[in-house]
Structure 1
Amino acid sequence: MKSLNLLLIPSLALMISAPALAEFSATPSEAEALAKQAYLYGFPVVEMYKTLYAQAVDKDGPDYKAPFNQIGNTARVFTPKDTAFITPNSDTPYSFVWLDLRAEPQVLTLPAVDGSRYYSTQLIDLYTQNFAYLGTRTTGNKGGHFLVAGPHWKGPKPANVDKVVRSEGDIVYGLYRTQLFDDKDLDKVQQIQQGYKVQPLSEYLKQPAPPAAPAIDWPAPQADMSDSPALFRYLDFMLGFAQPVASETELFKRLAKIDVGPGAAFDEKSLSPEQLAALQRGIEAGKAEFADLKKTKIDTHQLTSGDFFGTREHLKNNYLYRYVGANMGIFGNSAAEANYLGYFTDAKGQPANAAKQNYTLHFKKGELPPAKAFWSLTMYDAKTKLLVDNPLDRYLINSRMLGQLHKDADGGLTLYVQHDSPGTDKVSNWLPAPDGPFYGVLRVYMPGPTLANGQWKLPLLIPTAR
């Protein structure tokens, strides 16, 4: 990897004083413990870099969307062919923008939309933390103009801007969701997406543009970048665009001993086999801690998505929780925007596997998911974490489909979760699963209070004979 031009670092003084400039000095036992911390901290950042590179840098790649400070729209629902990030939803066609705020702020314009349609713009920092939202829940459906500024912009709020949103880093990911009612609604969604606009502040105010920021030499991703010591090299690179905050000072004093931190230049090729082995053991220890948390707290629904996604203040520097979010469903919404409830195991505590069992999921009368906007249950292949190809091209069942589903005699709703068709009389309620391990995610957009206070209970997957 070529070293980052010093002009790209927001604060040269901060970079020079950073303790991470020290070279690798940890003993093998120290390196293992520090690598675990650095891995849990850095995994979300590096996973985010993969998406950044695929969507905004690699113009010849299959997942390229648009250059920086321009919106890329996807006027269709996601399918199994979409692989840019894991556990995608297929209810809301996405729009994407990567904002480079080094030279000046950017102004996002949202169009007004009908009050019955949900839409949102989720603003995500380079640590995968959701630091702001625009749209239905926060700013309404009336649209508006919103200025997104980096950490070094000091200007006043322009009179014709509705709100200023400040980012702690110089690069921001804007992820737009526009609710799709049905296949006939795609044209309307596309019209709404065309109303999403991004402009430099100078252009918006019709003023001369400031000097452009220096070009960036983006390092190409490599296959093992999230699972090997190479992760620390990409992390060092990314920290040049989003300096750690004051509460992380002590952490990076420690990580400096393995050459990880702002201003550092980790190079795994310069390390001995013993040092590399120690770092790899630390990475594996981090993975093991996640696996234990998933088995004991996540699969048993003691922790939910609301614990893993949100602002820095919400996460309170819990890097394991931030890691969980990035590992299981990167770019998930904060709890107030949407709640994600996972089906990883069945009612008996066994891993969900449609090669071994069929399953039913029963909602009692009057006990559908409490959503102010809408709810959706989406199926994923547990091996790939992507949508599941199936003969119906059906990847989910959501609240907009209730009129097409057969209700039980008592007014409840039973869904059939399995690989093979349950028969013509039940196919309307069939959520196709892969012929193997799977998981489902129930998304509840703008959840009602009965979900947050625990009054509403999640129904469990009931295994039946295949």
Structure 2
Amino acid sequence: MIKNRRVLFSLHWTCASFAGLAFLAGCASTPTATQKTTGWIKDEVADSYVFGYPLVLMGVARDAAVGTDPGQAPINTLRHAQALPPVGAVNPPQPSLDTLDSTGWLDVGSEPVIVSLPDSRGRYVDARVLDMWTNVVWSTSDQFATRAAGVKAQTLAFVGPGWQGTLPKGVKRIDLPTRNAWLSVRIQSNGTRDVTAVRKLQRAIRVAPLSEFVGDARSASVAPPRSDAAAAAAAAASGTPAAQVAALDASGFFNRLAQALPDNPPTPADPHALKILTDLGVSPGDPVKLPNAPEAIAAGLADGHDRVVTPPSNLLSGNGWNWFGDGVGNYGADYAMRAYASATQPGIGTKDDEVRAVVSQDSDGHALNGANRYVIHFAPNQLPPVRGFWSITAYTKDGALGESAPARIAVGDRNGARRNRDGSLDVTVSSARSKSGNWLPAPRADLQLVLRLYAPKSQATDGTWQPPAVVRQ
């Protein structure tokens, strides 16, 4: 049964400190003296953690990605992936085998940044820009009508808050609500023999500040993002951005949040959330002064950690699979969904960009394991509804590519998945080679499957379609 209960995130702030201890007494039947004094702190730390998590995560990801070391790229430039992710790859989690990705971080604090995309000549290209709160500000999804048939050449100007000026003729203006943004361009790749064509498209993408784009020798310099020594050290630490954020104590987390807020105000504007942060001693741009209540703060931080990775009630689910519905990518005040999406599928687009359905249990509720053999049966009228293409990939339970041979294989309609005579389609999942033409190699351990729908149709996100169950044979 599909669950699609659209319940906006209702924060615990109704029991906050605005009315003092008398009001708090009304939120619990028999509070202790300690609860009367610090109970609001725990709740507000947890609520504020969920609220600020995407901004802190994006800041950590930016700091780790920007630079001149291997695997990094300077601000306002792109880093191009030129080969499929290796076995064991886990950053980003659940790396795609369908596309080669070009990513970069924009800084529009001094001037607009111009992004030029070439004509992909029918090849599927998914480009998107996320603000620092992980809302999708712009994507190519609106260029796909009934089917995804590539993108045409286009030039866009990403403009920061309050900028006034003139753009070159033919350049489309896109206003950003935050100083920084994440640009992702994913180009369909059809295996190793196709890499040369993908690289040619990658080289044709241009990203440059406005002054450089128009040839001004007095090109404006971009100041580095706000950061302190501790933040820089955290960005250089090992582990994914999500792991780095999870390792921060309350002071480290809220200091990063406070430093990021002046350049990246909440979207949508939320003075109530900022007031709650002020109650905790967290003000934009200022050093954090948390209350002297270490136990309450630690409890609130732990609660925040749990809530960020807990599936919200309005997540779609069916046959053991979970996926995001219509609200993904533009979250409004749905802070629970926004935080969960940031933690589990960083960079996820809107309902029109992509669907990633994830399953880790079979139809009997048992953990998937590559030692077993499973079949996913798509009825003739239940194939994934897409305007682009779809694929299924197997990962370890932690989201890494497994070491099963042959490794790095995804099964889907772009690589000739065979249908049965009645039009249905079966995918066999196991670590042992299968005679099935649609064999998906799996890790020899507990695993998860990810079904990707590129340029999905509305049925995939409005709850009228669901992936079929994973049945153990």
Residue equivalent to 2:280? 258
How far off is 1:113 after superposition?
Answer: 1.6
Q: Say if 1:361 and 1:215 are closer, same or farther in 2 by CA, change over 3 A.
A: closer
How far off is 1:346 after superposition?
Answer: 2.2
Residue equivalent to 2:298? 280
Q: Say if 1:430 and 1:295 are closer, same or farther in 2 by CA, change over 3 A.
A: farther
Q: Say if 1:49 and 1:204 are closer, same or farther in 2 by CA, change over 3 A.
A: same
Determine if the alignment matches structure 1 residue 389 to structure 2 residue 427.
no
Counterpart among 159, 166, 185 of residue 149 in structure 1: 159
How far off is 1:321 after superposition?
Answer: 0.1
Question: What is the one-letter code of the residue matched to 1:283?
Answer: L
What pairs up with 1:203-214 in 2 under 5 angstroms? 203-207=212-216, 209=218, 211-214=220-223
Q: Secondary structure at the match of 1:236?
A: helix
Contact 1:379 1:432 in 2 (8 A): yes
Q: Distance in 1 between matches of 2:156 and 2:144?
A: 12
Q: Distance in 1 between matches of 2:76 and 2:134?
A: 19
Question: What is the one-letter code of the residue matched to 1:65?
Answer: Q
Q: Say if 1:65 and 1:50 are closer, same or farther in 2 by CA, change over 3 A.
A: same
4+ runs deviating over 6 angstroms: none
What pairs up with 1:211-250 in 2 under 5 angstroms? 211-216=220-225, 218=227, 219-220=231-232, 221=234, 225-227=245-247, 228-229=249-250, 230-245=252-267, 247-250=269-272
Q: Distance in 2 between matches of 1:292 and 1:97?
A: 29
Q: Secondary structure at the match of 1:172?
A: strand
Residue equivalent to 2:8? none
Question: What is the one-letter code of the residue matched to 1:412?
Answer: S
Question: What is the one-letter code of the residue matched to 1:43?
Answer: Y
Q: Distance in 2 between matches of 1:346 and 1:409?
A: 26
Question: What is the one-letter code of the residue matched to 2:323?
Answer: T
Residue equivalent to 1:33? 43
Question: What is the one-letter code of the residue matched to 1:88?
Answer: P
Question: What is the one-letter code of the residue matched to 1:281?
Answer: A
How far off is 1:189 after superposition?
Answer: 0.2
How far off is 1:167 after superposition?
Answer: 0.4
Q: Distance in 2 between matches of 1:136 and 1:189?
A: 22
Q: Distance in 2 between matches of 1:67 and 1:41?
A: 29
TM-score of the aligned structures, taking structure 2 as reference length: 0.80
Residue equivalent to 1:447? 456
Q: Secondary structure at the match of 1:226?
A: helix
Q: Distance in 1 between matches of 2:91 and 2:348?
A: 14
Contact 2:312 2:336 in 1 (8 A): no
Structure 1 residues 342-385: Cα deviation after superposition (integer angstroms, max 9, x where no partner): 22332233443445x43211112353212111111122222x22
Determine if the alignment matches structure 1 residue 185 to structure 2 residue 194.
yes
Q: Say if 1:372 and 1:309 are closer, same or farther in 2 by CA, change over 3 A.
A: same
Q: Say if 1:29 and 1:134 are closer, same or farther in 2 by CA, change over 3 A.
A: same
How far off is 1:462 after superposition?
Answer: 0.7
What pairs up with 1:318-357 in 2 under 5 angstroms? 318-354=334-370, 357=372
Q: Say if 1:151 and 1:371 are closer, same or farther in 2 by CA, change over 3 A.
A: same
Q: What stretches of structure 1 of length at least 5 have no aligned partner?
A: 1-25
> Aligned-residue CA RMSD in angstroms?
2.8
Count of residues in correspondence between the two structures: 420
Residue equivalent to 2:32? none
How far off is 1:150 after superposition?
Answer: 0.7
Question: What is the one-letter code of the residue matched to 1:279?
Answer: I
What pairs up with 1:381-460 in 2 under 5 angstroms? 381-382=396-397, 384-402=398-416, 405-418=417-430, 420-423=431-434, 425-426=435-436, 428-460=437-469
Q: Secondary structure at the match of 2:340?
A: helix
Determine if the alignment matches structure 1 residue 123 to structure 2 residue 118.
no
Q: Distance in 1 between matches of 2:272 and 2:458?
A: 38
Q: Distance in 1 between matches of 2:419 and 2:366?
A: 28
Q: Secondary structure at the match of 1:225?
A: helix
Q: Say if 1:282 and 1:363 are closer, same or farther in 2 by CA, change over 3 A.
A: same
Q: Distance in 1 between matches of 2:461 and 2:314?
A: 21
Contact 1:388 1:395 in 2 (8 A): no
Structure 1 residues 7-58: Cα deviation after superposition (integer angstroms, max 9, x where no partner): xxxxxxxxxxxxxxxxxxx95322211111121122222222232122113x
Q: Distance in 2 between matches of 1:285 and 1:91?
A: 36
Counterpart among 389, 392, 413 of residue 374 in structure 1: 389
How far off is 1:329 after superposition?
Answer: 1.0
How far off is 1:208 after superposition?
Answer: 5.2
Q: Say if 1:379 and 1:138 are closer, same or farther in 2 by CA, change over 3 A.
A: same
How far off is 1:410 after superposition?
Answer: 3.9
Residue equivalent to 1:310? 329
Q: Secondary structure at the match of 2:193?
A: helix
Q: Secondary structure at the match of 1:93?
A: strand
Q: Secondary structure at the match of 1:124?
A: strand
Residue equivalent to 2:78? 71
Q: Distance in 2 between matches of 1:435 and 1:261?
A: 49
Q: Distance in 2 between matches of 1:252 and 1:362?
A: 49
Determine if the alignment matches structure 1 residue 52 to structure 2 residue 62.
yes
Contact 1:130 1:310 in 2 (8 A): yes
Q: Secondary structure at the match of 1:417?
A: strand
Determine if the alignment matches structure 1 residue 88 to structure 2 residue 95.
yes
Structure 1 residues 379-418: Cα deviation after superposition (integer angstroms, max 9, x where no partner): 2222x2222232102342121112xx44445442221222
How far off is 1:292 after superposition?
Answer: 5.2
How far off is 1:234 after superposition?
Answer: 1.8
Q: Secondary structure at the match of 1:371?
A: coil
TM-score of the aligned structures, taking structure 1 as reference length: 0.82
Structure 1 residues 235-257: Cα deviation after superposition (integer angstroms, max 9, x where no partner): 22222320225631011101112
Q: Distance in 2 between matches of 1:317 and 1:293?
A: 16
Structure 1 window deviating more from structure 2 (445-454 vs 88-97): it is 445-454
Identity among equivalent pairs (%) = 24
Q: Distance in 2 between matches of 1:391 and 1:339?
A: 27
Question: What is the one-letter code of the residue matched to 2:415?
Answer: M
Question: What is the one-letter code of the residue matched to 2:425?
Answer: L
